Amino acid sequence: MGLRRSYTLFAPLYDTIVGPVFTEARRKSLARLPAAATRILLSGIGTGLDVPYLPEGPFYVGIDLTAAMLKRARRRAPDFGLAQASAQRLPFADETFDHVVLHLILAVVPDPIAALREAARVVRTGGLILVYDKFLRRGQRAPLRRLFSPVLGRIVTHTDRVFEDILVQVPSLAVIEDRADRVNGYFRRITLKRLPD
Ligand SMILES: C[S@@+](CC[C@H](N)C(=O)[O-])C[C@H]1O[C@@H](n2cnc3c(N)ncnc32)[C@H](O)[C@@H]1O
């Protein structure tokens, strides 16, 4: 079963299962969005659980691979620009957005380097990319998370991604904050800044 199929099945349950778990994490991550912004992208917006924590003012664009997830996002945010697309190949010109949100997406997509590169391409120089996800530390043992990742990765999320291995492939980004969050720091709130070329 592919990701689009599994998230289509998961969509009606997503808010009930995932919603309450990450409320505080979303609030803290999105509090990093600077006040002065005109266009912000949520890449892999899902059902739009971030929407209540977004500051008013900018125009928001959301993309997701799964129509059933986007349908729910549309209900929650009828004024957003929403499109079905892949985070690994964004249908936007370079530097279209002031900031990009990558919540619970880098561990999900098959190619997280492509997804991060695309976020770095479409954000303006000096703009922020807000990452919230689960990552192993380099060399961390975590045998079960490594064992099950190939199977879980095909249906819902990878559990053995190492953020530093992804970031090193996207040199136009610098880490400006990296906070340990849930599950002893397995989940992290990371703020990246797009450097000048
Ligand atoms: C764990 S959910 C996260 C959704 C949302 N960002 C959140 O924080 O609740 C992962 C989302 O990634 C979407 N997805 C999977 N592969 C994708 C891809 N290649 N491009 C864009 N979205 C993708 C799924 O449809 C799902 O909505």
Residue nearest to atom 3 of ligand 1 (CA): 104
Predicted confidence at residue 197, as pLDDT, reads 84
Tell me which residue range forms the domain holding 132. Answer: 3-194
- Tens digit of pLDDT for each residue in 176-195? 999 999 999 999 999 999 99
Burial pattern 130-160, b for ≥16 Cβ within 10 A else e, equals: bbbbbbbeeeeeeeebeeebeeebeeebbbb
CA of 56 to the centre of ligand 1 (A): 23
6 lines ligand 1 (CB under 6 A): no
Report the domain count for the chain.
1
Atom in ligand 1 nearest the alpha carbon of residue 44: 22
CA of 22 to the centre of ligand 1 (A): 15
Flag whether pLDDT at 147 surpasses 80.
Answer: yes
Q: The whole model's pTM is what?
A: 0.97
- Tens digit of pLDDT for each residue in 15-66? 999 999 999 999 999 999 998 899 999 999 999 999 999 999 999 999 999 9
CATH of the domain at 163: 3.40.50.150
DSSP structural state of residue 36: -
As to burial, measured by CB atoms within 10 angstroms (0-12 exposed, 13-18 middle, 19+ buried), residue 186 is middle
